[in-house]
Amino acid sequence: MGHRYTAWDGFYKGTRFIDELESLGEKLACEVFGSDWASLRPLSGHIADTIMVSTLTKPGGSILTVNPSNGGYDGLGNRGYPPFVNVKNLFFPYDSERMNIDVEKAKALIEDEKPSLVVFGQSYFLFPHPVKELSEACHAVVSRVAFDASHVLGLIGGGEFQHPLNEGADLMLGSTHKSFFGPQGGIILGTSPLKSRVKDQQFPGLVDNAHWNRIAALAWALDEVRRRGTKYAPQVIANAKTLAKALHEGGLPVKCADYGFTESHQVFLDINGEENVNRFSEKLEEANMIVDHGIRLGTNESTRRGMKARDMERIAELIVRVYKGEEPSRVRRAATKLRKEFKTIEYT
């Protein structure tokens, strides 16, 4: 299917199996996420975001998101897509201690500014966002409510974290390859009134031909989440909590220790100073432990490999050894040995 085309007007012939695949994939997505409709066509999470912004704002309108300086998504910030379509950026008042939106101040800002579109969700995402608490205020001033689930899609698919479409969001979208263990790509899920508006905006303006080999893989992953998601997602979160706690007890500065560290698959290390962050993440890399610059750790891949609480403690131990100054090449041997114990893929 990797180079085939299909079109709604039947322009291309011989597409019956592709069309069947698309309907099946969309049906599975609606079942997994409790949406009225789905599109599996966006080529990435970012493309899903551009479809959302183009559909739900007009030039001169505004979009309210988490500021990238608070862990919001850059692609929706003022260096991202909104300025391209002349949409003004507004940012949620944010409590950086709790790593979450300040509900009361956000309510006041929504009432004052009446943004065209309010987007919950962020890239550095530890705790559920107050969609339920704020969606009524948004709808009262005719703001559309969306949720960028790029990072937490697999948790939501497994019934964890939060359920934005039941909490007042009109649209949910995201990447399909982060905590959701599908192929690299994007997805949009929505409530009925927006279906034709989003799909008309998507094609042919922002996605012309979709990638059917990817969509076949995505349909397969959706079926795996449908069957195994309720086992996978709680284990991912439990692993993140165990990892955070063990790192904290090992003496590392872990963000949000007073608030239970995390309710997602992510754990943040709160290391001061750009240079220290770089030095530590490079040392970890020398020890075969790859983290990002945040420093942000995620337990989704290790969970899919079958790791449980005890394995998180073992990973934490290795990270602590590097933190305390042990030679990375010595820790690397232990990291490689640990990784080799997990040769299969679980929740499949």
Ligand X SMILES: Cc1ncc(COP(=O)(O)O)c(C=O)c1O
Q: In the chain, what is the greatest distance between 2 CA atoms, to the nearest angstrom?
A: 64
Q: How far is the CB of 180 from ligand X (least distance, A)?
A: 11
Among 22, 33, 46, 170, interactor with ligand X by CB under 6 A = 46
Separation of alpha carbons 237 and 215, rounded Å: 27
Please identify, among the stretches 101-109, 118-126, 199-207, 246-254, the one whose residues bind ligand X according to the rule CB under 6 A: 118-126
Does 175 interact with ligand X (rule: CB under 6 A)? yes
Q: Which residue lies nearer to ligand X by CB, 121 or 157?
A: 121
Please identify, among the stretches 23-31, 119-127, 162-170, 204-212, the one whose residues bind ligand X according to the rule CB under 6 A: 119-127
Residues between 47 and 66 with contacts to ligand X, criterion CB under 6 A: 49
Among 75, 82, 164, 298, interactor with ligand X by CB under 6 A = 75
Does 150 interact with ligand X (rule: CB under 6 A)? yes
Tokens at 281, concatenated: 């993440």
Does 44 interact with ligand X (rule: CB under 6 A)? yes
Binding mask 177-206 for ligand X (x = CB under 6 A): ---------x--------------------
Q: How far is the CB of 213 from ligand X (least distance, A)?
A: 17
Residues linked to residue 146 through DSSP beta bridges, in sequence order: 119, 171
Residues between 207 and 236 with contacts to ligand X, criterion CB under 6 A: none
Does 45 interact with ligand X (rule: CB under 6 A)? yes
Separation of alpha carbons 115 and 71, rounded Å: 20
Please identify, among the stretches 40-48, 201-209, 270-278, 334-342, the one whose residues bind ligand X according to the rule CB under 6 A: 40-48
Separation of alpha carbons 77 and 72, rounded Å: 8
Among 89, 123, 235, 302, interactor with ligand X by CB under 6 A = 123
Q: Which residue lies nearer to ligand X by CB, 148 or 160?
A: 148
Q: How far is the CB of 76 from ligand X (least distance, A)?
A: 7
- Helices and strands in the chain, H and E counts: 11, 11
Q: Which residue lies nearer to ligand X by CB, 129 or 283?
A: 129
Separation of alpha carbons 346 and 331, rounded Å: 26
- CA atoms lying within 13 Å on the CB side of residue 116: 17
Contact 206, 44 (CB under 8 A): no
Q: How far is the CB of 320 from ligand X (least distance, A)?
A: 28
Among 33, 73, 161, 268, interactor with ligand X by CB under 6 A = 73
Residue among 109, 168, 173, 94 at smallest CA distance from 133? 168
Q: Which residue lies nearer to ligand X by CB, 15 or 67?
A: 67
Buried residues in 99-133 as b, exposed as e (16+ CB within 10 A)? bbbbbeebbebbeeeebbbbbbbbbbbbbbbbbee
* Number of residues forming the site for ligand X (CB under 6 A): 14
Contact 186, 43 (CB under 8 A): yes
Q: How far is the CB of 326 from ligand X (least distance, A)?
A: 32
Q: Which residue lies nearer to ligand X by CB, 100 or 242?
A: 100
Contact 267, 261 (CB under 8 A): yes
Contact 138, 111 (CB under 8 A): no
Q: Helix, strand or coil for residue 257?
A: helix
Q: What are phi and psi of 260, to 5 degrees?
A: 85, 15
Quick one: residue 262, left, alpha or beta (phi over 0 = left, psi -120 to 50 = alpha)? beta
Residues between 251 and 310 with contacts to ligand X, criterion CB under 6 A: none
Which residue is closest to ligand X by CB?
45
Does 71 interact with ligand X (rule: CB under 6 A)? no
Does 121 interact with ligand X (rule: CB under 6 A)? yes
Binding site for ligand X (CB under 6 A): 44-46, 49, 73, 75, 121-123, 148, 150-151, 175, 186
